[in-house]
Amino acid sequence: MRATSIGHAGILIETQFGSIACDPWFHPAFFASWFVFPRNDQLTADLLSRIEHADYLYISHLHGDHLDDAWLTDHMSRDTTVLIPGFPTRELELHMRSLGFTNIIRTVDGEEIDLDGMRVAIHVETSISDGPGGDSTLVVSDGETRLLNQNDCRTADLNALAAHGRIDLHWLQYSGAIWYPMVYDETPERMRELVDAKVDAQFARALKYVEVIDAKAVVPSAGPPAFLDPELFQFNVITGDELSIFPDQVSFLDRLTAAGRSGILAIPGTEIDITPDGYTIQHPIPVAEVDAIFTDKRNYLERYQADWMPWLTAHKATWHPPTTDLLRTLKAWWEPLLAMAPTVRDAVGASCLMRFGDLAIVIDFPAGEVREFHDDSFCFSFDIQRELVETVVAERCVDWSNALFLSCRFRAWREGPFNEYLYNFFKSLSVVRMRRAEAEARRKLDPPDGSEEIELGGYMMERACPHRQADLSVFGEIEDCTLVCTLHGWRFDLETGECLTASDRHLRVRRAE
């Protein structure tokens, strides 16, 4: 089996039985905030042809750094068979059909299928935090070797992945893929604390996956992006002092080495040939030039930036200009959704101020209203460039996390702890999505009685983390009197069960007798 990096989470998997192009991403994403790092706009014609004519196409989920509509439309053969994860909704499948792909295999969560000798299983992680579908993980075997493409799927059931057999090569996310905490209004000292805690949590989660999967080698992937817009360039981690959650591959490889694990540095075009006896690595450029990407990173990024600045300037000119009816449009769109989600509204529990240049509106979640702001009280606020909002409204984007927030092109403030239901609202701006968001909120806030318990470090506790139901027998770690769920870094007081990360998340826990 050969696995070739095509950038970010993109992999071309080639076996004697067929090939799979995974998450090919080439065009900048999220309002041109994210660029592929290291750059993949200089791949060889041979590799591009192999990607374009792969036998199968796998898209892990709907986010713009995994689903590149423009590139798929212009380059990918429509004869390719698309492997669709078994998500609860068919949104991804319908999207791929709208792009002209008609050969669809809709898989069943975790079930292995035989593709003429190449065996494939797609595991689905569903949570409203990831949208109506969720995220997914791919396991591929050619009968002799096995590859796990975890990308940025925060899989909770690691035993299901291990059940397929020994993993030879494990590709996974380790770096940031969120806007928090950089966009929040905090002092530099507090921001330093938040950034360091977030990076530590990201690394701890990834290392937990590495430990449990126990593959022969690990390939850090699915990040970080490069930020080439001068307005966002400070989010690139170059010296290590930046207030950013986007460390690069070398940083995580150092952690792997310290943990006694084998890691592989892959750049776009790196080929990894896997055999039962091990693996070999072939980079597309000399090793010294590969190293220079990271040791002389500022120079590398500035050259990359100069090449793309004309495109970036032209792209910004396409953002939608202000209209006269933005408030009326949002009111007509959002108030019916608020009406169908009383549990979500109650869980948010306050108003949200949104400033779009000279227009300020308030989403009154308790009242279910959208109106112009007039000194209303609020507990959350967003300041977003008017043209960005006009663009996502004109395109009727139903997931503002993917369409807008991941761009990091906004400022935010909140009073008190993180409230996931506020963001779940912005990820669920359609009837289908909001119906599921409301059902998910009801399930979390009024869980069934009698859930399974485990013993951990002298405490009896519910097995499923109250945040996103991660298995605490796998992801739970005790630090002094605190339980840490390493899947997302959430923390709980073991004496009271109080969640120290956010409100409305209580852990049922008691001392073991």
Give CA 65 to chain center in angstroms: 9
What's the average model confidence in pLDDT over 480-491? 84
More reliable by pLDDT, 163 or 231:
231
> Residue 283 — left, alpha, or beta (φ > 0 → left; ψ -120 to 50 → alpha)?
beta
Give CA 325 to chain center in angstroms: 33
Q: Are residues 282 and 347 in the same domain?
A: no
Reported as type and span, the H/E element at residue 342 is: helix 342-348
Question: Which residue(s) pair with 384 in the sheet?
Answer: 410
Q: Do the beta carbons of residue 486 and residue 204 sit within 8 Å?
A: yes
Q: Are residues 292 and 359 in the same domain?
A: no
Residue among 97, 39, 33 nearest 63 (CA): 33
Q: What is the pLDDT of residues 110-120, one digit of tens each?
A: 999 999 999 99
> Residue 48 — left, alpha, or beta (φ > 0 → left; ψ -120 to 50 → alpha)?
alpha
Pairing assessment for the beta strands 81-84 and 104-106 based on DSSP bridges: parallel
Mean pLDDT of the chain: 94
Q: Are residues 362 and 241 in the same domain?
A: no
Q: Provide the pLDDT for residue 447.
A: 62
Q: Provide the pLDDT for residue 129.
A: 55
Q: Is the peptide bond before 224 cis (omega within 30 degrees of 0)?
A: yes
For residue 157, give the DSSP letter: -
Q: Do the beta carbons of residue 479 and residue 490 sit within 8 Å?
A: no
Rg of the chain (C-alpha set): 23
Query: Strand 146-151's sheet: what is its strand order?
Result: 113-115, 118-125, 135-141, 146-151, 169-173, 217-221
What's the average model confidence in pLDDT over 331-349? 97
Please report whether residue 318 resides in a domain. Answer: no
What's the average model confidence in pLDDT over 196-222? 95
* Domains held by the chain: number: 3
For residue 341, give the DSSP letter: -
Q: Provide the pLDDT for residue 348.
A: 97
Boundaries of domain holding 505: 453-511
CA angle 306, 308, 310 (to 5 degrees): 95
Q: Are residues 24 and 169 in the same domain?
A: yes
Q: Which of 311, 339, 361 is the last residue of a domain?
A: 311
Q: Provide the pLDDT for residue 128.
A: 56
d(CA 41, CA 209): 31
Please report whether residue 21 resides in a domain. Answer: yes
Question: Which residue(s) pair with 31 in the sheet?
Answer: none
Q: Are residues 334 and 304 in the same domain?
A: no
Q: Are residues 98 and 23 in the same domain?
A: yes
Q: Are residues 459 and 426 in the same domain?
A: no
d(CA 277, CA 285): 25
Please report whether residue 319 resides in a domain. Answer: no
Q: Are residues 71 and 153 in the same domain?
A: yes
Three-class secondary structure assignment of 403-429? HCHHHCCEEEEECCCECHHHHHHHCCC
| Long-range contacts from 245-250, C-beta under 8 angstroms, 24+ separation | 245/175, 245/176, 245/178, 245/180, 245/181, 245/182, 245/195, 245/198, 245/199, 245/202, 246/175, 246/176, 247/174, 247/175, 247/176, 247/199, 248/37, 248/175, 248/224, 248/294, 248/297, 249/220, 249/294, 250/294
Q: Are residues 73 and 179 in the same domain?
A: yes
Q: Are residues 126 and 154 in the same domain?
A: yes
Q: Are residues 177 and 109 in the same domain?
A: yes
CATH number of the domain enclosing 340: 3.30.1050
pTM: 0.90
Q: What is the pLDDT of residues 287-316, one digit of tens each?
A: 999 999 999 999 999 999 999 999 999 999
Q: What is the pLDDT of residues 356-415, one digit of tens each?
A: 999 999 999 999 999 999 999 999 999 999 999 999 999 999 999 999 999 999 999 999
Question: What share of the chain in percent tops pLDDT 70?
Answer: 97
**Number of Cβ within a 10 Å radius of residue 397:** 16
The string of DSSP letters for 455-488 reads EETTEEEESB-TTT--BHHHHEEEETTEEEETTT
Q: Provide the pLDDT for residue 441.
A: 86
d(CA 205, CA 486): 5
Cα dihedral 488, 489, 495, 500 sign: negative
Please report whether residue 317 resides in a domain. Answer: no
Q: Provide the pLDDT for residue 474.
A: 76
Question: Is it the case that residue 450 has pLDDT exceeding 70?
Answer: no
CA angle 486, 492, 495 (to 5 degrees): 140
Q: Which of 391, 411, 444 is the last residue of a domain?
A: 444
Q: Which of 385, 418, 444 is the last residue of a domain?
A: 444
d(CA 45, CA 163): 38
Residue among 70, 50, 51, 44 nearest 10 (CA): 51
For residue 296, give the DSSP letter: T
CATH number of the domain enclosing 32: 3.60.15.10
* Helix and strand totals (H; E) in the chain: 15, 25
